[in-house]
Amino acid sequence: MEVTIMVAQDELLTIMYNLILNPATRDWEREQLATAKNTIGAGASFSAALATLEGKLRPLALRNNLTPDVADFYALVVGDVAEADTFDLSRHFNPDAPYEDRAIFAGGCFWCMVEPFEQRPGIQAVFSGYTGGTIDHPTYDQVLGQYTGHVEAVEIIFDTRVVSYDDLVTLYWQITDPTDDMGQINDRGDQYRPVIFVRDDKQRAIATASKQQLDASGLYGKPIVTAIEPASTFWPAENYHQQFYKKNPKRYRLLERSRKQYLATQHLFGRVRVGLKQLRGQNK
């Protein structure tokens, strides 16, 4: 495969060097990167060494099995502008305006949690990340392996003049299964458990009242098990995961279609359950 070099040679070499030092890079990936870098350092053609490296990484890239930072590097090598584009995380670190607030929700794979919130009026930014765990700067592989106690989550910065925290909690219930504390739909494992992370007493009161209201609605035949926990440090995920629905629309639509079908069926059964209960009450 002919590779398209999108950035300067020196910049790519710097990225390769940083990936070799990156503890999140897998040993096999590190070996391929080091081989390419050493080959170039020995005087080999840069483009030829890069093409060989691309061929080594391609099988894993096609299966979406590269570590996130290496996946971003691969996107640079093959000229995938959309996927290689670095997502600006500065808004996460900048202070909020007086009229802004933040919400943190976990509800399965964060790939499917961004778009529903981001499309709402008043949303300033949505970040994919990790929270609720025991170590600093967790990596995707660590969270996926359930080594750190973190869950995949989204952090939402919103304009309180346009949309309320209560509105966001209501949407959260609509796009998650609140009866499953072992994951969400096809996403299994503790890192996918549903949690509302509250930042203060006001958010806790709103989330608690909303959960109680949902439990009393009779829409679900099982208990509402979504946890409400104090917010802790939110660690933004690697660039590869940010705005996944825009970078990988085909794969995202497949995942989202399955999720929506499951939830639509669950909600339909809930409405039938409530309707039958009301009918029985009328016939007494």
Task: Look at residue 81 and tell me whether its pLDDT is greater than 70.
Answer: no
pLDDT tens profile 254-274: 889 999 999 999 999 999 988
Q: Same structural domain for residues 78 and 94?
A: no
Task: Look at residue 5 and tell me whether its pLDDT is greater than 60.
Answer: no
Residue 143 and residue 215: Cα distance in Å, rounded? 30
pLDDT tens profile 142-170: 998 898 999 999 999 999 999 999 999 99
Q: Same structural domain for residues 40 and 166?
A: no
Residue 34 and residue 20: Cα distance in Å, rounded? 7
**pLDDT in the model for residue 3:** 46
**DSSP category for residue 137:** S
Task: Look at residue 281 and tell me whether its pLDDT is greater than 90.
Answer: no
In the block, which residue shows the tokens 């995202």?
252
Residues in the chain: 284
Choosing from 244, 259, 276, the residue where a domain stops is 244
Scored b (16 or more CB within 10 A) or e, 237-257 reads: bbbbbbbbbebbeeebeebbe
Q: Same structural domain for residues 100 and 60?
A: no
Domain-located, residue 254: no
Domain-located, residue 249: no
CA dihedral 3, 32, 20, 139 (to 10 degrees): 90
pLDDT tens profile 176-198: 999 999 999 889 999 999 999 99
- Predicted TM-score of the model (pTM): 0.79
Beta strands in the chain (DSSP E): 100-106, 123-131, 151-159, 183-184, 187-188, 195-198, 227-230, 235-236
Q: Same structural domain for residues 59 and 122?
A: no
Q: In what helix (H) or strand (E) does residue 174 lie, and over which residues does it extend?
A: helix 165-174
Domain-located, residue 273: no
Domain total in the chain: 2
Both tokens of 12, joined, read 């790519």
- Domain with residue 140: its CATH number is 3.30.1060.10
Q: Same structural domain for residues 143 and 165?
A: yes
Task: Look at residue 172 and tell me whether its pLDDT is greater than 60.
Answer: yes
**pLDDT in the model for residue 7:** 60
Domain-located, residue 131: yes
pLDDT tens profile 40-73: 888 888 888 888 999 899 889 887 889 988 988 8
Q: Same structural domain for residues 63 and 117?
A: no
Domain extent for 220: 90-244
**pLDDT in the model for residue 170:** 97
Choosing from 59, 84, 109, the residue where a domain stops is 84
How many CB atoms sit inside 10 A of residue 74's CB?
22
Q: Same structural domain for residues 223 and 170?
A: yes
Domain-located, residue 3: no
DSSP 3-state helix, strand, coil percentages of the chain (rounded to 5)? 50, 15, 35
3-state secondary structure 221-271: CCCCCCEEEECCCCEECCHHHCCHHHHCHHHHHHHHHHHHHHHHHHHHHHH
Q: Same structural domain for residues 99 and 238?
A: yes
Q: Select which of 40, 76, 109, 195 is catalytic.
A: 109
Beta strands in 65-182 (DSSP E): 100-106, 123-131, 151-159
Q: Same structural domain for residues 54 and 129?
A: no
Q: Which long-range contacts (CB under 8 A, 24 or more apart) does 36-44 make?
A: 37/13, 40/13
**DSSP category for residue 4:** -
**DSSP category for residue 23:** T
Task: Give me the amino acid identity at 79.
Answer: G
Q: Same structural domain for residues 58 and 178?
A: no
Beta strands in 18-117 (DSSP E): 100-106
Choosing from 22, 49, 84, the residue where a domain stops is 84
Q: Same structural domain for residues 202 and 225?
A: yes
Domain-located, residue 144: yes
Both tokens of 192, joined, read 């996918």
Q: Same structural domain for residues 215 and 154?
A: yes
Active site residue 109: yes
Domain-located, residue 272: no
**pLDDT in the model for residue 280:** 76
Domain-located, residue 256: no
Residue 31, SS3 per DSSP = helix
CA 182, distance to chain mean position in Å, is 17
